Amino acid sequence: MTTDLNPRYSFETFVLGEPNRVAYNAARSVAESPGASYNPLFIFGPTGLGKTHLLMAIGNRAQSVSEGFSVEYLTVDEFLEAYQVATAMGQADSFRNRFEGVGLLLVDDIQFLAHRRPVQGELLRLLSGFQESGQQMVLTSDTPPADIEDMDERLLRKLDGGLVVDVAPPDREMRRQILEQRAEERGADFEAEVIEAVAAFEVGNVRELLGLLNRLAAFQAVSETPVTADAARAMLDWEVPAEEAVMPIETPRAAEVEDDPFDMTPLFIDMPETDEFADFLSDVSSTVEQQIEVWRERLAASILRWQPEGYRTARLEQAMQSDEVMAPIERLVGQFEADIGRLQEMQEAMREVAPERANDIAFFDPDRVAEAEHLVQKAVRELGALPGPSEAYSPGAFVESGANRVAVTAVGATVSDPGKRYNPLVFVGGPGVGKTHLLHVVGHGLATRDNFWVACMSTQQFLDELQQAIDDDRWDAFRARFGKVDALLIDDVQLLAGRRHSQEEFFYLFNRLLEAGKQVVLTCNVSPRDIEGLDERIVSRFEGGLVAQLDSPDRDLRRAVIIKRLEDLYGAAELDLVDYLAARPASSVRGVLGLVQRVLSAADARGVDPSGRLARELIEGAIPAREDGSRSIRTSGVTSAPGVIHSQDKVIWRWPDPVERIIEELV
Amino acid sequence: MSLVNFTTREITCKIVYYGPGRSGKTTNLQYIYGRVPEGRRGRMVSLATKTDRTLFFDFLPLELGQISGFTTRFQLYTVPGQVYYNATRKLVLQGADGVVFVADSQARQLDENIESLQNLQINLLDNGMDVRDLPVVYQYNKQDLPQDLILSKRELDDALNFRQRPSFQADALSGSGVFETLKGVSELVLRRLSEVSTA
Ligand SMILES: Nc1nc2c(ncn2[C@@H]2O[C@H](COP(=O)(O)OP(=O)(O)OP(=O)(O)O)[C@@H](O)[C@H]2O)c(=O)[nH]1
Ligand SMILES: [Mg+2]
């Protein structure tokens, strides 16, 4: 925020004359022993008389006198800006602190503090602090302190308590000296009387004087003969605007370089130096600086916008303090504001879930977005954890076969790519074919993903939760909780049949999850279309995913199930027993396991090993009359596969062999 | 190439002097070249015929040093004004950040000025640039010629400058107006810095 000292401004290059001798001497004495002689030193005088030159000369000298001595030069604009930013950010202290290590503070143009009481107060405080700790301050202004409008009385007294000196316009002698010095510096050779003639012009300040010299130099460079005093006077009297005061000059052209048409580096005689380039450079610099100022303002605007709302703006403040703009401003501010947007969303979510925690500091710090997200997740979980997949249905215990291969394949795809492949995934099948087990297998698979939240529950549990929310009048919380899961797995959705309100809530939730790309997996004991009293909207959405059929176990599956169970219990399975049991039809895995269980219990009761023989005796010895069996065929036909309808392309369906079914029912 | 590169902290302004043949584009660059201290300018590349007509283009790189932490460069180009070098003109225009349209103030050159201005618009369009978005300033050159031969600033503004862009009178041969023009276009170009959001 400060300006560098210009090394060209030294005491050596300062032209000394009667009009500025006092100021010059005071400046030197302050430069050589800062804090020890006049503190503060106040230099005033009209513009263009070298106040800034003196100020910087003090700084340069003080720095060369003692190495490492800290000097800061500020224009009042810079001072004001620093102050405004600091106070806008509620950090007036940091403003004061930043001058702590400064041995010499140079403040230019303090007339601009007129009418600015708060900053005047700040300057007063600063000044007192400086005096106490022996830090030197030098100030300049174009008027004496008392003439600066609306100045704090105490500040005036403070300034008067130091030394107040003025610089007056150069007298003729001084003008002559300045002209001579400058002419020499730039290698222009003027007759003494020309210098004298120019010095005679009553110009108000040094800058104007140098302007005259420039015009003269330009004129001299193009004239055949040296400029005379009369010519100089005549020329300087010209009251023509600079633009029209064009002097015709013969300029050598590129074309005059005859030999090589491709080497056209122009030849120029030394042109009169009229600093046009320097002028251009300073123009460009100030435009660029202004633009960077615009960036800073953009930062400041964003800081001022968000800070009062309680957001931490450290990121922008850092960018603002770095002298150089670090990143494309729009990107920087844009990211910052996007982070705030995210925080607001999180805070909103927290208000739904746990309003008392919605003002956590993390919701106000754009550098802690991840933390805010975490807080919300945590709160949602604490709200009453939704059940996950049950350990009772382990993935390893699920037996795959032709009867469930399609469903199993869909499970694989869903676990590796949730929300993307089959959504919803609906398992359909009669009782005991393993729908619930498979549902939990999906749950376990998904739960191994990082940061992935799986809710897995029965429709009854879902309905209970819903009822509870209605009773407690906490709909929002209910929705927030379910809306936050990454996958929702619900068993036996046929139980929704006939419950209009619950279906509505389910439908709402279901859509929300689907839209958000969250995975939904359901089971149903019949094809959704055949559930009476299930809203058509829901049915058609189910069918929009994948309805995967689980068939009654075939012989292979039965075999596998039996072997697995026997091996689990005994470490081995008797082949005869396996073959015999596997040959018996069953409409469900549960049925198969029931059969195994019967044999095992009998073996246990008799104190013998389970075997094919035992099984035969047990089962065939107990065969009821065939007629009973045929009666139950009809029953079975109705109960075990009531209209499991298959949409041709999505459902694979193999009707169990009727003969086997008959026998199964006899078991 | 973009005006500002935040990663390398560079500002690079490409400015193209455009206009009809013999309007004084090359003369502008030569004048600037003569005013820039040695260390600040690169070699001026100028490809011209013996009769001084630009054959390809003139190129003058200027190093302005560090400004607010950015290494700042200007690249000044002229195009060949003669009608049949249009391919070169189009090429030089690519990536221009600003254009100085150097018009010949002589009354009898008015049609050439207008034609060249139309040609500029077409070439910009062909390069996918929109003249409405591009910083353009006008320079009415050769104002040193006798009054009865030349058009005034107002007349030229009426004929050429219907978008009311900044315009400058100049006598490029003596240099008057040359830096004013350069400053004018630079200012327009640099003002865009705060609008530029992509690196
Ligand atoms: N009187 C007068 N003559 C000028 C001025 N500017 C350029 N000229 C002359 O006009 C002629 C053409 O100038 P150039 O700068 O070569 O023109 P150009 O625009 O580069 O032309 P092309 O390269 O053909 O496109 C030269 O003879 C210059 O000396 C001017 O302001 N006043
Ligand atoms: Mg040319």
Interchain pair B44, A268: CB under 8 A: no
Q: Considering CB atoms only, which of A248, A284, A325 is closest to B144?
A: A248
Distance to chain A for B112, nearest Cα, Å: 23
Chain B residue with Cα closest to A244 = B176
Quote the pLDDT of residue A654.
36
Return d(Cα B35, Cα A103) in angstroms, integer: 41
A255 lies within 8 A of chain B by CB: yes
Structural domains in chain A, sorted by start: 18-166 (3.40.50.300), 172-236 (1.10.8), 283-382 (no CATH), 395-549 (3.40.50.300), 552-623 (1.10.8)
Quote the pLDDT of residue A592.
84
Stated pTM of the model: 0.42
Contact of A352 with A480, CB cutoff 8 Å: yes
User: 3-state SS string over A513-568?
Assistant: HHHCCCEEEEEECCCHHHCCCCCHHHHHHHHCCEEEECCCCCHHHHHHHHHHHHHH
Chain B residue with Cα closest to A222 = B174
Quote the pLDDT of residue A220.
66
Quote the pLDDT of residue A520.
93
- Residue range B171-188, pLDDT digits in tens: 999 999 999 999 999 999
Q: Which residues contact A664 (CB under 8 A, 6 or more apart)?
A: A584, A585, A586, A587, A591, A636
Quote the pLDDT of residue A216.
72
Q: How many CB pairs under 8 A join A and B?
A: 127
Tell me which chain B residues have a C-beta less than 8 angstroms from the C-beta of A279: 179
What average pLDDT does range A192-212 have in this prediction? 79
What average pLDDT does range A606-620 have in this prediction? 82
CB atoms within 10 A of CB A246: 18
Quote the pLDDT of residue A270.
35
- Residue range A368-425, pLDDT digits in tens: 999 998 888 888 777 666 788 888 888 887 877 777 888 888 888 899 989 888 888 9
- Residue range A245-301, pLDDT digits in tens: 333 333 333 333 333 333 333 333 333 445 788 888 888 888 888 877 777 778 888
Per-window interface: A 316-345 vs B, CB < 8 A: 323-331
Return the domain boundaries, chain B: 3-193
Task: Give the three-class secondary structure for A421.
Answer: coil
- Residue range B136-183, pLDDT digits in tens: 999 999 999 999 999 999 999 999 998 999 999 999 999 999 999 999
Q: Which residues contact A209 (CB under 8 A, 6 or more apart)?
A: A170, A175, A178, A179, A198, A201, A203
Interchain pair B51, A255: CB under 8 A: yes
Return d(Cα A145, Cα A48) in angstroms, integer: 19
Quote the pLDDT of residue A631.
34
Quote the pLDDT of residue A665.
33
DSSP secondary structure string for all residues of A226-283: PPPHHHHHHHHH----TTT-PPP-----GGG--S-TT--PPP-PPPP---HHHHHHHH
Closest ligand 1 atom to the C-alpha of B79?
Answer: 25
Say if ligand 1 is within 6 A of residue B89 CB.
no
Of the candidates A94, A70, A68, the one whose C-alpha atom is nearest the C-alpha of residue A82 is A94
What average pLDDT does range A300-312 have in this prediction? 85
Q: Locate tokens 């931490």: which residue? A: A312
Higher pLDDT, A136 or A544: A136
Say if ligand 1 is within 6 A of residue B171 CB.
yes
What average pLDDT does range B58-84 have in this prediction? 87
Return d(Cα A167, Cα A25) in angstroms, integer: 11
- Residue range B3-54, pLDDT digits in tens: 777 677 788 999 999 999 999 999 999 999 998 888 888 777 776 665 667 7
Q: Ligand 1 centroid to B21 CA: how many Å?
A: 8
Tell me which chain A residues have a C-beta less than 8 angstroms from the C-beta of B46: 254, 264-266
Contact of A424 with A512, CB cutoff 8 Å: no
Distance to chain B for A464, nearest Cα, Å: 54
User: 3-state SS string over B170-199?
Assistant: CECCCCECHHHHHHHHHHHHHHHHHCCCCC
The token pair that represents A654 in the structure block: 């193999």
Higher pLDDT, A304 or A439: A439
CATH 1.10.260.40 fits B3-193, yes or no: no
| Environment class of A621 (CB within 10 Å of its CB; exposed 0-12, middle 13-18, buried 19+) | exposed
**Which of A166-170, A292-296, A502-506 has the weakest average pLDDT?**
A292-296
Of the candidates A306, A342, A300, the one whose C-alpha atom is nearest the C-alpha of residue A325 is A300
Higher pLDDT, A352 or A517: A517
